[in-house]
Amino acid sequence: MVGSSLDAGGCNLVPKSYPPPRSSSSTTSTVKFFCSYGGKILPRHPDGKLRYHGGETRVLAVSRSISFSELLVKMGELCGMTMSLRCQLPAEDLDALVSITSDEDLANLIEEYDRVASPPQCLKIKAFLSPPKSAKKLSHTSSLAASSSRSPSPPYSTNAGFTPKLLKPAMPNSIGFPPCMKKWAGKMPQHYGYGSPGHVYLVHSGNHLQ
């Protein structure tokens, strides 16, 4: 806008320029999330500072007015699966990531970036995506079930506190002699006994048989 100043006599002097009014730029209404997923946060050698290693990083530009649920849907489409969201705060290291789980968390995050952004510009937020804990537990349970189904079944089933033991074959009863025979064992000639315990047959060691 160009205006003109007047002197005391009402004559026009040198035109005076005014800066144009600041229009609301479309970039200030956009938030860019640098989404990293599929990697791990590990200390860097040799200073030990945390860095994100591996995986992929993709940029997602959304409106500042986006809801948390809509943001998760877009990030899930970006990664191909449902993810949980953690973000890095301004001027903070990767050991100070905050979990974003609601519209209030998302609004506070954007407000925190607005506070340090001067002049206002398109916000760039580092986001780290990972599978939710429930999905990790389900995957671990499925892997255990699959491994148990592949393992061979034992030849017998055992109950708690029961250990199978091998049974020894029963030994046949030894042949015994009647008490009267034992009483005269020292006086009788040597004989051999055979047969069942109820019927004993003696065979003399000499030439006589009984």
> In this model, does residue 152 exceed pLDDT 50?
yes
**DSSP assignment of 30-46:** EEEEEEEEEEEEEEPTT
- CATH assignment, 26-134: 3.10.20.90
Direct distance between the N- and C-terminal alpha carbons of the chain, in angstroms, rounded to an integer:
150
Stated as kind and residue range, the H or E segment containing 140 is helix 133-150
Q: Is the pLDDT of residue 190 over 80?
A: no
Q: Own/partner pairs for 81-86, CB < 8 Å, 24+ apart?
A: 81/131, 82/131, 82/132, 82/135, 83/37, 83/129, 83/130, 83/131, 83/132, 84/129, 84/130, 84/131, 84/132, 84/133, 85/127, 85/128, 85/129, 86/127, 86/128, 86/129, 86/130
* pTM score over 0.85: no
Domains of the chain, residue spans: 26-134, 177-210
pLDDT exceeds 60 at position 151: no
Q: Distance between CA 38 and CA 79 in Å, rounded?
A: 9
Question: Does the pLDDT of residue 158 top 80, yes or no?
Answer: no
CB 204 within 8 Å of CB 210: yes
Work out the average pLDDT over 162-166: 52
Q: How far is CA 191 from the centre of its chain?
A: 82
pLDDT of residue 179: 53
Nearest to residue 24, comparing CAs of 143, 119, 99? 119
Share of the chain above pLDDT 70, in %: 49
Whether 77 shows a pLDDT value over 90: the answer reads yes
pLDDT value, residue 20: 47
Q: How far apart are CA 144 and CA 34, in angstroms?
A: 35
Q: Look at 101 and 175; give whichever has higher pLDDT.
A: 101
